[in-house]
Structure 1
Amino acid sequence: MASPAKKVTYSTTKNGQGNFGGGGGAMNSRSGDTFATQAQAVSAGVVASYFDFPAGIIRRIPDSLADQALRMDDSVVVDIDLARRQHEKLIMTLRKLNVGMSEMEPDEELPDCCFVEDPAVVLDGIAIIANMSQPGRANEVIGIRRILKDDLRQRVVEMKEDQKATLDGGDVLFTGREFFVGISRRTNQAGASFLAKIFSDYNVSSINVYGALHLKSMMSMAGPDIIAVGSSDYAQRALKQIIEKANHDYKTVTLPDDDAANCLFVKKTLIHCTQEEYPDSYKIFTERFRNVSRVALPNSELKKVDGGLTCRALLVLKTPKILK
């Protein structure tokens, strides 16, 4: 793993206080700090550029998702037609934002295959092909590997070199400055260490995840240097660890619903929950991001199989932006 980050003062915002403009941006750093790191030295403009994704991968939903996809609650019933309509809205939104989406057909043998975030972690022209802990998902990497390598010209690194390592992309939160990797039921410390070895230009901190499938089940990036986080005890425990390990001061937006904290920031546009699904969290998004382009998208059906907005797209920066 990378060397432990030195502790910094972590500045957060509270519900109902202030709002964010177009790009967000870091809180003011303390002028007396003498331990400024590479990540802290990165300009706000460079950080913002990490969210200007020119390309991505999506996959259509197989019929088998309704009955066979993995889920924490086996009692839920998925409306597969509604799930497809909701997924289509995300696809169309990304295309309207001029993200060049590589579209994959569904595979009935892979009921979770539409959750393309998990099989790979991509940054700086490097794509880690993950060892996912669920054996039934292993073949999901095949088509994604081909697109990343042949179409998007990424350098592929196989995590299978370390058979003990497991990693799901849903546990990897990249802020534009550093990585936080959730240690969860799907990702272990060996997986986090593998990622740290490959992306050695960045600080990588492990965050213990409780009460949720993935780290990003309860937090995500809502803009450059802005973390959206749920209000549950589990989410706040994870945030506390980030506070202690971060190499930068981040703004936070605390939402009453953990699920609503899974959002996407793409090309200066925030994609978040709908009013119908999470009215209280939706209100906070509208109040706190009133000067930001926003799109509200439904996720009710894929949430039933533990899928969030981030899970459904693997977004890629074609051009490496290695911080030197």
Structure 2
Amino acid sequence: MSVRTVCTLPDGRDIETIEIEAGGLSARVLTLGAIVQDLRLDGVDHPLVLGSPCVEDYLGPTRYFGAIAGRFANRIGGGRFHLDGKEYSTDRNFIGRHTLHGGHDGAALQNWRIASVAPDKVSLRLHLPDGHMGFPGNLHVQADIGLTVDSLIIGITAETDAATPCSFAHHGYFDLDGGGDIRKHSLMIHAETYLPTDDELIPTGRIAPVAETPFDFRDLRRIGSAGYDHNFCLSDRQQPLRPVALLVGESGLGMQVETTACGLQLYDGAGIKSVAGLEGRIYGPWAGVALETQHWPDAPNRPGFPPAILRPEDRYSETTIYRFIQ
């Protein structure tokens, strides 16, 4: 376990890095965005995640890599929603029309505060003030990032003083083979339905069956090049922690995803631009796959979707485990 200041950003913020380990698994975590910058497993000669050695790159070309996205992960169509009889306009940082991951200055761009550190775990806290990126409510968030001998565990809790959309997702990109192309990785997702989107990646409102479509991952199969940036509907409400997906590299290394969340966003990384990564690697399209557990996208505008509004009398709490299988 170690904690040190790794850099000072141009705006004067000091970014710290925390190194944790448990058994054969080790991770490096940044206070910027609660980013898992690096993740290593004994016996595997490459990083399990995409990351950047340059912290400043997380403000630009590697934005969201390994970060906690929120206060509402994924997209809110039109950058607006109605809540308790009032319309709210949120930051339209996606093609100038929609809100993505809480706006241009969302949780992934914030410098979280270290609350506690143990050899195998770090707890980070963040306050998003009322009106931040257009969202109502003072939101107090804690991210607990921990390791076991074979698992990365992400637990996120939040409380608010006013009703607000709330959904956080770990936006890690995984490459189990270290080959820079995940299209030959195999994937299984325990979902009978998914959310079709329009040309701007906003859900249409339809909940569609995966059967007889390229979205059918009920049996383990290769990811391929069909193009995925879609939510898979795991359930219609939060559930006890359960397995929801399995990713397997050509090397045979596997990763089981377990979560309490009702949605899983599969993004195949097709839009990743050429950028310098860990160990001198150059990442490009399909360099990593994101499996983001979340509330369903655009839920504040979709009464038929599982509700994603946090109220003062409630507490947001979600847990996701990425369990590696050798």
Q: For this structure pair, what is the TM-score category when the shorter chain's length is used for normalisation? A: under 0.3
TM-score, normalization by structure 1: 0.27
Could you say which structure has the higher strand fraction?
2
Which fold has the larger relative contact order, with Cα–Cα distance below 8 Å and residues 6 or more apart in sequence? 1
Could you say which structure has the higher helix fraction?
1
